[in-house]
Structure 1
Amino acid sequence: MDTGTHVVMGIALGGLATLDPAVGMHTPMSQAVMIAALAGSQAPDIDTVLKLKNNAVYIRNHRGFTHSIPAVLVWSLLIPGILFLFYPEANFLHLWLWTLLAVVLHVFVDIFNAYGTQAIRPFSKKWVALGLINTFDPFIFISHLAAIAVWYIGGHPGITFLMLYIILAGYYVIRLLMQLRIKRRLREMIEEDIETIIISPTMKFRQWRIAVTTAHAFYVGRSLDGHVVILDTFNRVPVPETDVMKAAKQDENIAAFLSFSPVYRWEIDTFKDHYEVRFIDLRYRSKGHYPFVAIVHLSHDLELLSSYTGWIFSEEKLQKKLKLGSV
């Protein structure tokens, strides 16, 4: 989820914790738990700083190790350990439990995005992405703000946020049923045997992006108001084992893209003074454009000239980044 949603979730957990007899309301323990819940709800996203280095490092690592099982345990011990220095009278066990819940909730809700996390590391580096909830979901964010407002005007925080999460559990179930209905419709529409279906939510409640893989083709479409439409179809052509492609795969931007994207097509173009190899993620079609790409320029001697991976919404901007040698 986005940072703002994680913040309001941290506040909600701090309020929910007042139902715990060891926490109560308006006590040093409740203050410590609120701080722990806010810190725990943000800690896994510390890897966002990697974006300052470059997109390749960020894409390869964001929501990776910092969202793993070992990291969850480290955050859940480190945060209350520090807070205990300032709140020695706090019940450490309960402080740890609420911190653990905050960190686990962060990772748990991220699993439901299309981006996903490597939440089952170290057992597997597989990206777990259920694609039910957009990175920013207006209903989830606004409902949290409404619950916080109820608390502010005098409502009991524990009861208020407990009711909120019961409602949100129902919301997740509704989203799951919507997604399953789309999958059934796709199996009816596509005559080939389907290998994978990736459904990505958008900020609009009834609009979804669709990418389907079969043995011979990729189908890209959308679902809007319950109607499923296939917008583009691409032949599924294996990535060739040519010298140009092998050299391209050595580039860190291409390697990062391939480690992250589960469904993509590729292009190789030959120009007077260079080769261009491009990989295009098919999950994020927007207004006829596929904005998430990885591209590399190689000399005819297969030396790296420039490369880029990330979100680009115009060819002009992409070529400017490549001319600058963006990596």
Structure 2
Amino acid sequence: MDSISQIALGAAVSVAVMGRRTALWKAALWGAACGTLPDLDALIDHGDALSNMVLHRADSHALFWLSLLAAPLGTSFAWLLGERQHLRRWVLATWLTLITHPLLDWMTIYGTQLLRPFSSEPLGLGSIFIIDPLYTLPLLIGTGVALRNGAHALRWNALGLLLSCAYLAWSALAQQHVSRLAREQLAEHKVQALLVTPSPFNTVLWRIVALTPEGYLEGFHSLLDAPGPLRFQSYSRGAELQEALRDHAPVQTLSRFSDGFIKLERDAAGLVRISDLRMGQEPHYVFSFVVARETPQGLERLESAEAAGARGDVRAGLAWLWQRAGGDVEAQPPHESARVMQPRAVQAAGQPAP
């Protein structure tokens, strides 16, 4: 999740654990610091853009390492404040604020390596977008009211935590509902993998990506849509390029990190780009990397991947998002006029759309 959400969560958890045992501002300040601590790994340069991506949310987000860190960190803070009588509480508050950070990140689709050093598998439920005001606002309001009105208003902090947790539970239930609809409508397709994740800033409009032997399907479903079949667009994943570059290290790395949700395409300049299909939507993806270039001698592989992500027209995207989330199935997302690969509209049953 974004830094504000993590700071708000850390502060709320710390205030809830410490209660009236210390000044609320001390608990909130320490919780906010611990809540943002794991994300400092973003300051580490691992040598290239792709490595920086896949090694973010790695050791700094591992439950094992954070649990080992909690005791000395919490003890040091208790001694610094002269509150050794509450040492156990400070250690507990530190531990909870540290581990709730990666657990919240796990709810997003990015990929959090919770199980290091025992496993480097990136885990992500994908039921909430990285920024969602409806998750963050209850935490900010609850902790803010408690800090303003003193210890007798701690129930506001608890209420904020309860509402934010309830929202996470709602997002998971909504995701399962949309996943069931997608599986039912794509039953006749040879779907190899299915991804259902919310569109930016909400849990009303959901993006569906289904990998097939021919490529992948992308569709959207709003919880406000009228009953009817889901609509998908069919796209190529660049099978020829994937075959040519299957043993290229950057391609292998991103394919493993994204659980196979990748596509490769060649642009007009002959540059070959790999994109993570999980974050963004056609044709703009947050994480794209140039991994090769076309030469008269054939494909020239790049030793290190070069970042080439794109976000598109934000204003037009937000206008479409609002319209489509409201249930307008005819709303068309903004696309570039020139496309490397043109989509073919398909219905859920796999027949060309009229």
Q: Same fold (TM over 0.5)?
A: yes
Could you say which residue in structure 1 is the equivalent of 2:221?
A: 223
Q: Tell me, what secondary structure is at the counterpart of 1:174? A: helix
1:100 and 1:12 map into 2 onto residues whose CA distance is 13
Q: Aligned partner of 1:194: which letter? A: V
1:87 and 1:157 map into 2 onto residues whose CA distance is 23
1:16-55 superposed matches below 5 A: 16-19=16-19, 24-26=21-23, 33-50=27-44, 54-55=48-49
Q: CA deviation at 1:192?
A: 2.0
Could you say which residue in structure 2 is the equivalent of 1:147?
A: 142
1:213 matched to 2:215? The reply is: no
Q: Tell me, what secondary structure is at the counterpart of 1:267? A: strand
**Residues matched between the structures, number:** 301
1:33 and 1:63 map into 2 onto residues whose CA distance is 25
Q: Which residues of structure 2 form unaligned runs of 5+?
A: 313-335, 337-354
> C-alpha offsets along residues 51-88 of structure 1, whole Å, 9 cap, x if unaligned?
59642231021001111133212331342243144134
Q: CA deviation at 1:168?
A: 2.3
1:306 and 1:86 map into 2 onto residues whose CA distance is 45
Q: 1:241 to 1:206 in 2, by over 3 A?
A: closer
Q: Tell me, what secondary structure is at the counterpart of 1:194? A: coil
1:185-200 superposed matches below 5 A: 185-190=181-186, 191-200=188-197
Q: Aligned partner of 1:113: which letter? A: T
Q: CA deviation at 1:43?
A: 1.6
1:69 and 1:197 map into 2 onto residues whose CA distance is 27
1:68 and 1:4 map into 2 onto residues whose CA distance is 21
Q: Structure 1 vs Structure 2: percent identity of aligned residues?
A: 21
> C-alpha offsets along residues 158-177 of structure 1, whole Å, 9 cap, x if unaligned?
32222222222322222122
1:122 and 1:128 map into 2 onto residues whose CA distance is 14
Could you say which residue in structure 2 is the equivalent of 1:77?
A: 71
1:261 matched to 2:258? The reply is: yes
Could you say which residue in structure 1 is the equivalent of 2:279?
A: 284
Q: Tell me, what secondary structure is at the counterpart of 1:141? A: helix
1:127 matched to 2:122? The reply is: yes
Q: In 1, are the aligned partners of 2:63 and 2:116 still within 8 Å (CA)?
A: yes
Q: Which residues of structure 1 form unaligned runs of 5+?
A: 316-327
1:83-94 superposed matches below 5 A: 83-90=77-84, 91-94=86-89
Q: Aligned partner of 1:40: which letter? A: C
Could you say which residue in structure 1 is the equivalent of 2:323?
A: none
> C-alpha offsets along residues 16-59 of structure 1, whole Å, 9 cap, x if unaligned?
1244xxx5243xxx665444322221121121102596422310
Q: 1:313 to 1:34 in 2, by over 3 A?
A: closer
Q: Aligned partner of 2:112: which letter? A: T
Q: 1:282 to 1:211 in 2, by over 3 A?
A: same
TM-score relative to the length of structure 1: 0.79
2:72 and 2:143 map into 1 onto residues whose CA distance is 27
Could you say which residue in structure 2 is the equivalent of 1:97?
A: 92
TM-score relative to the length of structure 2: 0.74
1:305 and 1:83 map into 2 onto residues whose CA distance is 45
1:246 and 1:234 map into 2 onto residues whose CA distance is 16
Could you say which residue in structure 2 is the equivalent of 1:183?
A: 179
Q: 1:24 to 1:208 in 2, by over 3 A?
A: same
Could you say which residue in structure 2 is the equivalent of 1:325?
A: none
> C-alpha offsets along residues 257-313 of structure 1, whole Å, 9 cap, x if unaligned?
334223012235797xxx633222222344643443121334538464884135224
Q: CA deviation at 1:113?
A: 0.6
Q: In 1, are the aligned partners of 2:238 and 2:264 still within 8 Å (CA)?
A: no
1:240 and 1:8 map into 2 onto residues whose CA distance is 42
1:68 matched to 2:66? The reply is: no
Q: Aligned partner of 1:174: which letter? A: W
Q: CA deviation at 1:222?
A: 1.6
Q: CA deviation at 1:127?
A: 1.1
2:309 and 2:193 map into 1 onto residues whose CA distance is 24
1:311 matched to 2:271? The reply is: no
1:81 and 1:266 map into 2 onto residues whose CA distance is 50
Q: In 2, are the aligned partners of 1:281 and 1:293 still within 8 Å (CA)?
A: yes
Q: Tell me, what secondary structure is at the counterpart of 1:128? A: coil
Q: 1:255 to 1:196 in 2, by over 3 A?
A: closer
Could you say which residue in structure 2 is the equivalent of 1:322?
A: none
Q: In 2, are the aligned partners of 1:147 and 1:161 still within 8 Å (CA)?
A: yes
Could you say which residue in structure 2 is the equivalent of 1:137?
A: 132
- Kindly report the root-mean-square deviation, in angstroms, between the aligned alpha carbons of the 2 structures: 3.1
Q: 1:200 to 1:97 in 2, by over 3 A?
A: same
Q: 1:18 to 1:168 in 2, by over 3 A?
A: same
1:4 matched to 2:4? The reply is: yes
Q: Aligned partner of 1:127: which letter? A: P
